[in-house]
Structure formats: C-alpha cells, structure tokens
DNA sequence: GGTTCGATATATCGGTCCGATATATGCAAC
DNA sequence: GTTGCATATATCGGACCGATATATCGAACC
C-alpha cells in the first residue's frame, strides 16, 4: 500500500522522503499517518527494485536530501498495484482509499470494476452485520449493540457513496443518452432488490 | 489490541484459539478479521506473561484443543489495556472499536473520558479535512475530492454518534429511580425509531 | 465399507507497517 | 549566541497479516 502511495505521489512530482511524509499525512485526506519506520525502508526497497531512482541536483549544496523520481519500471509497478484487487481485510480499508486517491490513472472500466468489487464486499459485510443484529440482539450489551448499529449505518452510507461514484462513472463512460438511461434504470432496480 | 480482545472474550468464557477467531471475526461486529498468524502467537505470549492459562479437561479424549482461561494477572492486564488512551493512529480505528466492545468493564467516568478523547480527536481531524477542502489553492481531482468529502461526512456522523453515547452515559451517571425509568422509555423509543 | 469433502484446530514463515527514538541541519526569534 | 522548532534521514523491536502446512473430525455420497 505504501509503495502505491509513494509511486502515485512521485508521479506528480519528484520528492524526498520528508516531503512524501508531509503529503501522505496532510494532503491525502488525513486518514493515514505514515511513519518514518515504514517510509524510508519502503523508499529503499523501491530503489532496489528499480522502481524509483535518486535525483542529484548539482547546485544544491545545503543539507542532505534524497530526492527520488519514478522510473518506467516504477510506472509499470504503480499500474499493477493500482489495479490489484484487494484482499478484503481491515487494512484494505486504507488500501481502498489510497487507491481511490489515484483513480485518475486507471481506465474507466477498471475503475468501475474496482468500485463494484468494493461495494459487493461492503454489501456482504452489511448483510452479516444485519444478520448478527437481528438474530441475537438481546445477547449484546448496550455498547456492542450501538457499535454494531453504527457499523451498519456507516456501511450503508459507504455503499450509497460508492453507488454514486459508480453511477457517475457510468454516466461519464459512454455519454450516449439512451444507454445511460437504461443503465441507470438497471442500477435502480438492482438497488431496490438488494435493499 | 489483540491481547485486549482475547482477554475480553476469555473473561466471558474459556475458549480455545479457533473459537476465539470465530468470535473475533463474526460476533465482534465483523469489522476485523483476525489472522491465525496473530492469534496463536498472541495466545502463547499471554500464557508466557501469565495472563492466561490452559484448562485441561480430563474426559475430553478427542482432538487436541488448547483451551485457555484468564488468570487474575490477566484480569489486571485487561483493565490496563482497556483504560489505556489510544495513540490516535489509523490502527486506533479498530482499537477504539475493540475497546468499546468491552466498555461494560469500565467505570462510567472512565467511559466518558475515553469517549470524549475519541470525539476530540475526530473533531480535530474533521477541522483538518474541512481546511483542506476549503483551501482552493490545492486542486484535487474528482476522486480525491469525493474521498475527502465522504471522509468529512463520515467523521461528522461518527462525532454525532459519540455525542449520543456520551449523553447517554452522562444521563446514566446518577441512577435516580424515576430518571432511570424515563431514560429506559427514551431508549426504547429511540431503538424503535432506528430499527 | 470406503472415500471424499468441508469445518475444525494448531502452528509457523516472511513480510509490511508502526511507534519510538537517535541524530543531525537550517532558520528564525529572543 | 543560544534556544527552540521544523526539516531530514535512519534504525530497532514488535504487532499484525497473508499464505500455507498439517492433521482430525463428521457427514454426505457412492
């Protein structure tokens, strides 16, 4: 995941480690605080793999900075990591967000595939939560119950958000007026079935 | 975090590793999928620390099972882990949820303190996101923008949820008989609305 | 009766990431 | 001039994950 994030940021502009950590912590939504214990080893790993390389600025005499640039090998790796379907785990929460932050580098149909995969996973999880809640709601204490209810509500909102993104993506993919209408109708029907 | 979750579940009932993994994956909200690569080493670590001990059931002759029970040392450790204020990182998302699942083992004022701390953190993050969003100097693409907007909305809803929990906690702090009845009536009505 | 298969159960390996910490340098304020 | 803060790189131990190996049990099927 860090490799993906680093490559994505370096694609936009060559940077050194500290700049990357700032961009990752501040700009990328603030949902992930990257540690140096991850960042610097990952940079070295990427360099060893030939995915990034150091840029040496001659006139810079001041303090030591390791500025990195993406190589063509790194571009390739970036695309692979970006398209890689996730493993649906807890760390996949962040992984998905990082991926979304670089979605502009993906083809529209790949974007739709990834969004739908994520939505399918959330829908599965939602139904699990709902089953858990309706089956044994008396067994849970107030806090666990509230936690699960909140989990259910959040998941529903995440799904709605994803559906919006998918719809927008479909609308932008083939701007044929008739096809769009048919697609939206299908999406609506599908939504009504699963709700 | 895993130590906390394991001790909390073992407090309720002595179990072996596989049962713990089921309970962690299924019952605890479904938001965390625990791997065996974490679970079994953690159990051994806890045993080494003297926080849990094996239970040997004599009549059981069948397949090998390592059933564990919490010791008094483990009870102490559990309380410490439960009260420990988090480090506000990305792994703290799960940590907070796990902690909440065992909130019943905490004193009301500790509960309020932890909830408020969490809320304060989320409010800080919310303001960061809002600042980022309103600063037009940095232009985000559609996806990053949507990600941040969704992050903002989700955070706002999390804060509202926490505020509800805090209010309920404050209301329950002084258990006057009449107040309790009124509160239960409110809770019931609230439950009926949300279900 | 045999076998196949999925759920149960424990264990370990390599790897990613985190949190803490150490160690410098540039810079501005006092 | 020195104090303090942001900048900048680096590493250590540890937590957790994903994959995989291994083995047992029960039920289902032929």
Distance of CA B192 to the CA centre of its chain: 24
Round and report the angstrom distance from CA (B20) to C1' (C20). Answer: 31
Q: Which residue has the tokens 């089953």?
A: A131
Contact B154 A157 (CB under 8 A): yes
Answer whether B20's CB lies under 8 Å from B9's CB.
yes
Pick from A54, A45, A60: nearest CA to A16: A54
Angstrom distances, CA of residue B109 to CA of B78, B94, B100, B163? 18, 22, 14, 15
For residue B162, give every residue at least 6 positions away whose Cβ sits within 8 Å of its Cβ, in sequence order, or none.
B115, B118, B119, B122
For residue B117, give every residue at least 6 positions away whose Cβ sits within 8 Å of its Cβ, in sequence order, or none.
B85, B86
**Residues of A numbered 16-55 whose beta carbons fall under 8 angstroms of chain B's beta carbons: which are they?**
26-33
Full pLDDT tens readout for chain A, 195 residues: 899 899 988 988 999 999 999 888 776 666 787 899 999 999 999 999 999 999 986 555 566 789 999 999 999 998 888 877 665 666 677 778 878 878 888 889 888 988 998 898 888 888 878 887 876 656 678 888 898 899 899 999 999 999 999 999 998 765 555 555 555 565 555 555 543
Distance of CA A98 to the CA centre of its chain: 4
Angle at B35 between CA A90 and CA B74, to 5 degrees: 105
Contact B157 A161 (CB under 8 A): no
Interface test mutation site (partner A, options B147, B161, B194, max chain A beta carbons within 10 A): B147
Separation between Cα atoms, residue A131 and residue A7, nearest integer Å:
41
How close is the nearest chain A Cα to the Cα of B90, in Å?
A: 6
Round and report the angstrom distance from CA (B133) to C1' (C17). Answer: 28
Tens-place pLDDT, residues B106-152:
889 888 988 998 898 888 888 878 887 887 545 678 888 898 889 89
Round and report the angstrom distance from CA (B15) to C1' (C23). Answer: 48
Token pair, residue A19, equals: 């700049």
Q: pTM of the entire structure?
A: 0.74
Separation between Cα atoms, residue B179 and residue A92, nearest integer Å:
44
């Amino acid at each position: 995941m860090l490799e993906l994030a680093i490559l994505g940021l370096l694609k936009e502009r060559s940077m050194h480690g500290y700049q990357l950590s700032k961009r990752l912590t501040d700009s990328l939504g603030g949902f992930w605080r990257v540690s140096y214990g991850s960042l610097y080893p990952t940079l070295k790993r990427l360099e060893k793999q030939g995915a990034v390389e150091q840029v040496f600025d001659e006139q810079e005499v001041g303090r030591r900075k390791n500025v990195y640039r993406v190589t063509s090998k790194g571009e390739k790796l970036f695309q692979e990591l970006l398209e890689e379907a996730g493993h649906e785990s807890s760390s996949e929460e962040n992984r998905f967000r990082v991926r979304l932050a670089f979605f502009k580098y993906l083809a529209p149909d790949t974007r739709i595939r990834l969004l739908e995969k994520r939505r399918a996973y959330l829908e599965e999880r939602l139904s699990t939560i709902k089953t858990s809640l309706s089956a044994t709601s008396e067994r849970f204490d107030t806090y666990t119950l509230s936690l699960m209810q909140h989990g259910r509500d959040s998941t529903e909102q995440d799904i709605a958000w994803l559906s919006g993104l998918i719809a927008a993506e479909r609308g932008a993919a083939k701007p044929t007026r008739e096809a769009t209408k048919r697609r939206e109708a299908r999406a609506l029907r599908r939504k009504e079935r699963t709700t």
